[in-house]
Amino acid sequence: MRDLIIVGSGPGGYVAAIRAAQLGLSVTLVERNGLGGICLNWGCIPSKALLRNAEVLELIHGADRFGITTGEVTADFGAAIDRSREVVRRLRLGVQSLLNGNGVEVIPDTATLTGPGTVGLTGRDERLQAKHILVAVGARPRPLPDVPIVPGRVVTSREALEERDLPASVLILGGGAIGCEFATIWRAYGVDVTIVDVAPVLLPAEDPACSEALAEALHQRGITIRTSTAMQGLHVESDHVRVDLHGPAGDETVRVERVLVAVGSTPNSDQVGADAHHLTDRKGFIRTDAQHRTGMPGIWAIGDVAGPLLLAHVASEQGIQAVETMAGHATTPLDYVMMPRATYSHPEVASLGMTEPQARETRRPIVVGTFPLQANARALALGDASGFVKVVANGDTGELLGVHMVGHGVSELLGEPLLGITLETSLDEVERTVHPHPTLSEAFKEAALLALGRPVHLPPRALQRQTG
């Protein structure tokens, strides 16, 4: 009997398969669609490729700021979609070759849980057996009740990532990461974009300073933001979609060419029969313990189908932890507060750890330092100095509790505070690090210096403003 069957080859499943094979387990991976899951095929990767197109276009449109005159610029959105699909194709080949190289058997099929240690395969009318089964079937865009998908008119991210034509106007339902990223892409291509959310702010899980700065930056790019606003009705007409909204100013009807529904995700537990085995909670997520065991012996679950944080790197880390536990290794439960999070809008938002309000709720003494990128040499040289790096730390010990950033490319700055927090680094230790100049990473050190009350690159009056 094989050791392990993994259902689903997203960043949870395929990474778990490779690690399990490295640990000497015999592994079969069942995948009904493209290797790499939603992340690689219809999520993280194609959206980031399109965001790069948007960035290039924004640079060209703003070239005069650099003393560069361009002629008439034409931007072919279909070509952008093609480029994103090519990036996906190359990465998918990479996953395929990694799985082959590690001796993982891949079966293209749909699997269903049939009991402890067995899964049924739809295409082969066959059952597979293993000592362990790891369910990594992910999630799909959550539909809104009574709002069917109408290609070209009412879409989710899945359709939006392959539609080659651009609408003149789009209303995005949902001001989370996916909504803000699509707003960035479409706005760069000249689309009239409105974001609607019932929450009072964009990215409500982020530090309030990040939500506010992002809303301001998107507004400056010409994106309309309607928070605290509920969609009351949606009607697809012949050449537009009519959307009834209720917000702080009362009722209003908006007409747009396209609506993007980006209101969250529904776990695919029903697509693998986990619900039939009563393994799920009220929202359909598979319930697991800290080591990813479900309520059924030998069945494990990771990634978006299990939650709690629906992110690719979380799925991968959970997958590694699950198979290491199966192989008899001791593992430490993941700390979900300390998981890095990024929204790749322009500007980007990147964070980890506690927000300032969360840190204050702990009733510990807290110090905060917020360093504006306007005072960072590299950001000014890049011509994109909006945003900041904010550090939240324990006021007694200087221990880093959270880092929150807004700005050009700040997702790439997460690595340093991530390592710092993992190693329980204090502000004093950050102060002793030497950062290359000129880099955006200096803003992290400056934010730490601000929290310590001794910034180098801000005048004393800025310190007084921050400490209040």
Ligand X SMILES: Cc1cc2nc3c(=O)[nH]c(=O)nc-3n(C[C@H](O)[C@H](O)[C@H](O)COP(=O)(O)OP(=O)(O)OC[C@H]3O[C@@H](n4cnc5c(N)ncnc54)[C@H](O)[C@@H]3O)c2cc1C
The residues that touch ligand X, with contacts defined as CB under 6 A, are: 7-13, 30-33, 37-39, 43-44, 47, 110-111, 136-139, 157, 178, 268, 271-272, 303-304, 310-313, 315, 344
Kindly report the backbone phi and psi dihedral angles of residue 291, in degrees, each rounded to the nearest multiple of 5, phi listed first: -100, 10
Nearer to ligand X, 288 or 425 (CB): 288
Q: Which helix (H) or strand (E) holds 393?
A: strand 388-394
Nearer to ligand X, 142 or 360 (CB): 142
Q: State how far the Cα of 332 lies from the Cα of 152, in Å rounded to an integer.
A: 46
Q: State how far the Cα of 163 lies from the Cα of 260, in Å rounded to an integer.
A: 12
25 Cβ contact list (under 8 Å, min separation 6): 3, 4, 323, 326, 327
Which residue shows structure tokens 């034409």?
A: 74
CB of 265 to ligand X, least distance (A): 7
Q: State how far the Cα of 392 lies from the Cα of 395, in Å rounded to an integer.
A: 9
Nearer to ligand X, 274 or 367 (CB): 274
Nearer to ligand X, 182 or 371 (CB): 182
Longest dimension (CA), the chain: 73
Helix (H, G, I), strand (E, B) or coil at 108: strand
- Whether 404 is a known active-site residue: answer no
CB of 57 to ligand X, least distance (A): 19
Task: Single out the catalytic residue among 278, 329, 404, 437.
Answer: 437
Kindly report the backbone phi and psi dihedral angles of residue 175, in degrees, each rounded to the nearest multiple of 5, phi listed first: -105, 35
Which residue shows structure tokens 């690595």?
A: 415
CB of 106 to ligand X, least distance (A): 11
CB of 49 to ligand X, least distance (A): 11
CB of 37 to ligand X, least distance (A): 2
Helices (H) and strands (E) in the chain, counts: 14, 22
Nearer to ligand X, 344 or 371 (CB): 344
Positions marked catalytic: 437
